[in-house]
C-alpha cells in the first residue's frame, strides 16, 4: 500500500509516530497532533497514524477533525477496530448516538467474541433507546415541564441543617457569602433552596431577550470571564483577585459554566445566586456546554444526579434553554460564547429574532453563536469541532462594519495565556479555567474595561489547589470508555 516510499521515509515516519505517542502520554495533545501530522505527510497510507491523531483530536475537543481522521483510517483498513471506536467517540461527542451505534455494530461484526466490544455496543444501544423514549414523551400533548411538577412547599428542611438559608425565599448577600464558604468545605446547599434558586432563575431568564443589551456607565468597571467548566476553586480565585460581584463591580460570564470540572454544581449555584442578587449587574451567556447532550457526556448531568436528583438535572436543562445567547455592551462590543456565522450579512436584528428556547441545533445562527471558532486565514472553513464554522479576519471585519461594532469577545477555546487577540485586535478570546481538566497547563484570564474606554485589559492567573476529585468524575461511564 505504501509502495513508492523509500525505506528512509517509512522509518522516519514511524520514529515520528513513536515520538508523538510519547507526547500523547504526557497529555501534550497539540504537540502529538503536530507530530502525527508530520508522520502522515511522510507516509499517508498508515491507518494507525490517522487513528492516533483522531484520538488526540478527541482529547482537545476537535470532534470534526477526529471524525475525519477516523473515517480516513477506516477507508485505509476496514478491519481497523480502533478507528471505529474513535469515530464512535467523535459521533457521541456531537450527540450523534445512532451513528456511534452503527460503528460499534461494525466492531461487533468483525469481532463477535469480543466481550468489550459487545459491552460498548449494548451501552450505546441503551442511550439510543432512552433518547428515543424521551423524545416520544416530549411530544405528548399533555407533557408538563419539570418546573410545573415541583412542589417546594412539600420539601421539609431537617432540623440539623446548618447551611445557608434563603431569607423569605430570596437571595441575599449574606446567603451568597455563606453559600460560597459552604461549598469551599465541600458541603451542600439544601435541595429546597437549590430548587428555589433554579425556579427563580427560570422565571427571570424567561423574560430576557436572546441578545441582552448592557449599558456600562463611563466610570464603571466591567469584567468579562470565559469558560469556568466546573472549576469552583478557580472561580473563587477570580473573585479574590477581582472582587466579588456587586452593583459597583458587574460581571459577565460567557458560557460553559459546567461540565469537565467536578464542582459544576457549586459553580452554577454560585453564579445563579449572584444573578438573582444583582440581576442588572451580573450577566450569564449560554455556552455550548449548557445543553443536554454535553451535560450527559461530560459530567454535569451525573454530578447533579449524584448531589441532588435526576429531576433537578432535567430542570437545569429547562433553565439552560432560556439563557441569553449573547450580550451587546454599550452598542459597541458583542460578546458570545462561540463566534460568527457561515453566512454574510447577519445583523444584530437577526440575532434578536432567534428562537433560543430549545436545545442547540446543528446549524444556523444559534448553533454558530455557541460553537464557531476564529481562524487566521481569510474566508471560512469547516469547523474542527464538526459543528459551527471557522471564520477568518475578513468575516469578522465585515460583520463589525455591517453592525457598527468595535470588536467581539468570545470564549470556547483553551489558550496558553488564558486569552488571545486575533483578527487585527477585533476578535478576542477569553478562557477562565486555568490548567483545564487538571492537564492542559494553561493560565486563566478575565477582561476588564470601563464604560468610557472599552479598551480591554487582561488579567491572567494560575490554577489553585482543589480537593482530590478528578475532572469528569461524574461523567457517564460509557463516555469514559472513549474520551
- Give the start-to-end residue ranges of the domains of the chain: 7-138, 152-480
Catalytic residue among 190, 229, 281, 289: 289
Looking only at the bridges linking them, the beta strands covering 380-382 and 389-391 are antiparallel
Q: Determine the 3-state secondary structure of 326 from DSSP.
A: strand
pLDDT of residue 303: 97
Domain pair 7-138 / 152-480, same fold: no
Comparing CA positions, the residue from 47, 43, 41, 93 lying closest to residue 69 is: 47
Cell 445557608 identifies what position? 164
CATH architecture of 7-138: Alpha Horseshoe (1.25)
DSSP codes joined into one string, 420-459: EEETTTTEEEEB--TTGGGTS-PPEEEEEEESS----EEE
The beta-carbon contacts of 362-365 under 8 Å, at least 24 apart in sequence, are 362/387, 365/341
pLDDT of residue 2: 47
Comparing CA positions, the residue from 273, 17, 30 lying closest to residue 170 is: 273
> Cα–Cα distances in Å, from 186 out to 52, 233, 263?
38, 11, 9
CATH of 152-480, one of 3.40.50.720, 1.10.8.60, 3.60.21.10, 3.30.565.10: 3.60.21.10
Taking the CA atoms of residue 118, residue 123, residue 127 and residue 128 in that order, the dihedral angle to the nearest 10 degrees is 10
Contact 321, 346 (CB under 8 A): no
d(CA 245, CA 278): 8
d(CA 284, CA 274): 10
DSSP 246: B
* Count of all residues that appear for the chain in the document: 483
**Is residue 57 among the annotated active site residues?**
no
pLDDT of residue 133: 80
DSSP codes joined into one string, 291-319: SHHHHHHHSHHHHHHHHS-HHHHHHHHHH
Return the C-alpha cell found at 203.
422565571
Taking the CA atoms of residue 14, residue 19, residue 21 and residue 26 in that order, the dihedral angle to the nearest 10 degrees is 180
> Cα–Cα distances in Å, from 67 out to 71, 101, 284, 366, 417?
6, 14, 32, 23, 28
Q: How many CB atoms lie within 10 A of CB 122?
A: 12
Q: If residue 370 lies in a helix (H) or strand (E), which one and from where to where? A: helix 365-371
Residue 461, strand partner residues: 444
Report the phi/psi class of residue 196: left, alpha or beta, with left for phi > 0 and alpha for psi in -120 to 50: alpha
pLDDT of residue 402: 98
d(CA 69, CA 55): 9
pLDDT in tens, the chain (483 residues): 446 789 999 999 999 999 999 999 998 899 999 999 999 999 999 999 999 999 999 988 899 999 999 999 999 999 899 999 999 989 988 889 899 999 999 989 888 898 888 888 888 898 889 888 877 776 654 567 898 889 999 999 999 999 999 999 999 999 999 999 999 999 999 999 999 999 999 999 999 999 999 999 999 999 999 999 999 999 999 999 999 999 999 999 999 999 999 999 999 999 999 999 999 999 999 999 999 989 988 999 999 999 999 999 999 999 999 999 999 999 999 999 999 999 999 999 999 999 999 999 999 999 999 999 999 999 999 999 999 999 999 999 999 999 999 999 999 999 999 999 999 999 999 999 999 999 899 999 999 999 999 999 999 999 999 999 999 999 865 555 555
Comparing CA positions, the residue from 233, 324, 321 lying closest to residue 283 is: 324
Q: How many CB atoms lie within 10 A of CB 119?
A: 13
Cell 483522531 identifies what position? 54
Axis-axis angle for helices 232-242, 264-277 (nearest 10): 40
Contact 189, 162 (CB under 8 A): no
DSSP 146: G
Contact 270, 245 (CB under 8 A): no
Instruction: Identify the sign of the CA torsion 146, 152, 153, 158.
Output: positive
Amino acid at each position: 500500500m505504501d509502495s513508492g516510499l523509500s525505506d528512509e521515509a517509512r522509518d522516519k515516519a514511524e520514529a515520528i509516530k513513536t515520538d508523538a505517542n510519547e507526547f500523547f502520554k504526557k497529555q501534550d495533545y497539540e504537540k502529538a497532533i503536530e507530530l502525527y501530522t508530520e508522520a502522515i505527510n511522510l507516509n499517508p497510507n498508515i491507518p494507525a497514524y490517522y487513528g492516533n491523531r483522531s484520538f488526540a483530536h478527541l482529547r482537545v475537543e476537535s470532534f470534526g477533525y477526529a471524525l475525519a481522521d477516523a473515517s480516513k483510517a477506516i477507508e485505509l483498513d476496514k478491519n481497523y477496530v480502533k478507528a471505529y471506536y474513535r469515530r464512535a467517540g467523535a459521533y457521541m461527542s456531537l450527540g450523534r448516538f445512532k451513528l456511534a451505534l452503527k460503528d460499534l455494530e461494525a466492531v461487533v461484526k468483525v469481532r463477535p467474541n469480543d466481550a468489550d466490544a459487545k459491552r460498548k455496543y449494548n451501552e450505546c444501544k441503551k442511550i439510543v433507546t432512552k433518547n428515543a423514549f424521551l423524545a416520544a414523551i416530549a411530544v405528548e400533548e399533555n407533557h408538563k415541564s419539570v418546573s410545573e411538577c415541583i412542589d417546594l412547599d412539600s420539601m421539609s428542611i431537617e432540623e440539623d441543617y446548618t447551611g445557608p438559608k434563603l431569607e423569605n425565599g430570596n437571595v441575599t448577600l449574606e446567603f451568597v457569602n455563606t453559600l460560597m464558604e459552604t461549598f469551599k468545605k465541600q458541603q451542600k446547599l439544601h435541595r429546597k433552596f437549590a430548587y428555589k434558586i433554579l425556579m427563580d432563575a427560570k422565571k427571570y431568564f424567561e423574560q430576557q431577550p436572546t441578545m441582552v443589551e448592557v449599558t456600562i456607565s463611563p466610570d464603571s468597571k466591567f469584567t468579562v470571564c470565559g469558560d469556568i467548566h466546573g472549576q469552583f476553586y478557580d472561580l473563587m480565585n477570580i473573585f479574590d483577585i477581582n472582587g466579588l460581584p456587586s452593583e459597583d463591580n458587574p460581571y459577565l460570564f460567557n458560557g460553559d459554566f459546567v461540565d469537565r470540572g467536578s464542582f459544576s454544581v457549586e459553580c452554577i449555584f454560585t453564579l445563579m445566586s449572584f444573578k438573582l442578587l444583582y440581576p442588572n449587574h451580573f450577566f450569564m451567556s449560554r455556552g455550548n456546554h449548557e445543553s443536554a447532550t454535553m451535560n450527559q457526556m461530560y459530567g454535569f448531568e451525573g454530578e447533579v444526579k449524584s448531589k441532588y436528583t435526576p429531576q433537578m438535572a432535567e430542570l437545569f436543562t429547562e433553565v439552560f434553554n432560556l439563557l441569553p445567547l449573547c450580550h451587546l455592551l454599550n452598542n459597541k462590543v458583542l460578546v458570545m460564547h462561540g463566534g460568527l456565522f457561515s453566512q454574510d450579512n447577519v445583523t444584530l436584528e437577526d440575532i434578536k429574532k432567534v428562537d433560543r428556547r430549545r436545545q442547540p441545533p446543528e446549524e444556523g445562527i444559534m448553533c454558530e453563536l455557541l460553537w464557531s471558532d476564529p481562524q487566521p486565514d481569510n474566508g471560512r472553513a469547516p469547523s474542527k469541532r464538526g459543528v459551527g464554522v471557522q471564520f477568518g479576519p475578513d468575516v469578522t471585519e465585515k460583520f463589525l462594519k455591517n453592525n457598527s461594532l468595535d470588536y467581539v469577545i468570545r470564549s470556547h477555546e483553551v489558550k496558553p495565556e488564558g486569552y488571545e487577540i486575533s483578527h487585527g485586535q477585533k476578535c478576542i478570546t477569553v478562557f477562565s479555567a486555568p490548567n483545564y481538566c487538571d492537564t492542559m497547563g494553561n493560565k486563566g484570564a478575565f477582561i476588564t474595561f470601563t464604560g468610557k474606554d472599552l479598551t480591554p485589559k487582561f488579567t491572567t492567573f494560575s490554577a489553585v489547589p482543589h480537593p482530590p476529585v478528578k475532572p469528569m468524575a461524574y461523567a457517564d461511564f460509557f463516555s469514559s470508555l472513549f474520551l
